[in-house]
Amino acid sequence: MTNSTTLAVAQLGPINSGESRESVVSRLCALLQGAADAGANIVTFPELALTTFFPRTWVEEQEDIDQFFESSMPSPATQPLFDLAQQLNISFYLGYAELTEDGRRFNTSILVNGEGRIVGKYRKIHLPGHSDRKDAPFQHLEKRYFEIGDLGFPVFTDRGRRISMCLCNDRRWPETFRVASLNGAELMLLGYNTPVHNIHWQEPEHLRMFHHRLSLQAAAYQNSLWICAAGKAGEEDGSVLIGGSCIVSPAGEIVAQTTSTGDELIFAIADFDLGEHFRRNIFNFAAHRRPEFYGAITDPRPGRVTDADVE
Ligand code: CDV
């Protein structure tokens, strides 16, 4: 395979409250080292990969909220990960809570290249949950803790690949992948934290994993993308996360998936000619797309109006 890149996904087991950044970063470094030892070029870590998934908790005091955010990247605690990436010449995607210099807060991911330099940033656009649901049995407060991302779905070049990024709930929205693909992406990196239980209804548990895979497999195929999806898994601070990290090919097939609920690496030698085949034929956008009929997609007031405060 001449046009290939070795992709790794690094699933994380739980990060319970009280685990220090230093401890989490040493877990990330062990995974990065393992990925490099296996010959991987690009590693994907989960969403909010430095802390517990704190949006499940109502936190009152600002200073208690601030402990989950990074005001610089790399920070002193994450510097070892950047140094190791440079030493091993390996790229990585990392999700974290970003606090900007002017006090704005985003659910963010970055792409770091093999020189340990940030070459891309994405801020989560499809924030699920609500901003205040004290009546609920548990919370999903992303709308309270984060602003809607303001960077769109940009594409970055690293290792000769056109790479886009998204975060968790973004994967349920076909627009995420279509816009990235229209922008030229051939590889999508995704981190997520998906709880087994749904805050809004007694959803049968198996549907969470089914919809996760359904979304990724359809998106990969319809947009000629390789997708690396890295989740957190297992019971974290009393909430069970689905895990099920995987790598999906542009044919829509899952080519690697995790089998545990802990820290685990999976790999795929990704043939990028496969995506090119779909891009040139069945999904040749220039030849076959009919955007003149898609106006409702970008119309903010289409026929069907939905409740904004749902997951
Ligand atoms: N972190 C997330 O965005 N989680 C959502 C849940 C709340 C549905 C997800 O799409 O998995």
pLDDT digits (tens, 9 = 90+) for 258-276: 999 999 999 999 999 999 9
140 close to ligand 1 (CB < 6 Angstrom): yes
pLDDT above 80 for 102? yes
Average pLDDT over residues 178-183: 98
Confidence of residue 309 (pLDDT cuts 50, 70, 90): very low
Question: Cβ distance 245 to 233 under 8 Å?
Answer: yes
Atom in ligand 1 nearest the alpha carbon of residue 169: 10
Instruction: Say what percent of the chain tops pLDDT 70.
Output: 96
Among all chains, which residue has been given the structure tokens 């070795």?
Answer: 6
User: Token digits for 134?
Assistant: 């004290």
pLDDT score for 72: 98
Atom in ligand 1 nearest the alpha carbon of residue 126: 3
Please tell me the distance from the alpha carbon of residue 77 to that of residue 291, in angstroms, as a whole number: 46
Q: Which pTM value belongs to this model? A: 0.96
Q: Cite the DSSP H helix spans in 67-199.
A: 79-88, 142-145, 174-182
Question: Cβ distance 275 to 224 under 8 Å?
Answer: yes
Q: Is 232 a catalytic residue?
A: no
Q: Distance, CA 103 to ligand 1 centroid (Å)?
A: 24
How far CA 306 is from CA of 80, 172, 309, in Å, comes to: 45, 16, 9
Residue 241: helix, strand or coil by DSSP?
strand
pLDDT score for 307: 56
145 close to ligand 1 (CB < 6 Angstrom): no
Average pLDDT over residues 225-239: 98
311 close to ligand 1 (CB < 6 Angstrom): yes
Q: Who's near 49: CB < 8 A, 6+ residues apart?
A: 12, 15, 24, 28, 94, 95, 96, 191, 232
Catalytic entry in 70, 98, 124, 264:
124
Question: What is 63-119 written as a DSSP string?
Answer: HHHHTTEESSSS-TTTHHHHHHHHHHT-EEEEEEEEE-TTS-EEEEEEEE-TTS-EE
Confidence of residue 306 (pLDDT cuts 50, 70, 90): low
169 close to ligand 1 (CB < 6 Angstrom): yes
Q: Is 61 a catalytic residue?
A: no
User: Token digits for 82?
Assistant: 């950047």
Q: Which protein residue has the closest C-alpha to ligand 1 atom 9? A: 169
Among all chains, which residue has been given the structure tokens 């499809």?
Answer: 126
Q: Distance, CA 52 to ligand 1 centroid (Å)?
A: 14
Question: Cβ distance 132 to 89 under 8 Å?
Answer: no
Catalytic entry in 70, 166, 168, 246:
168
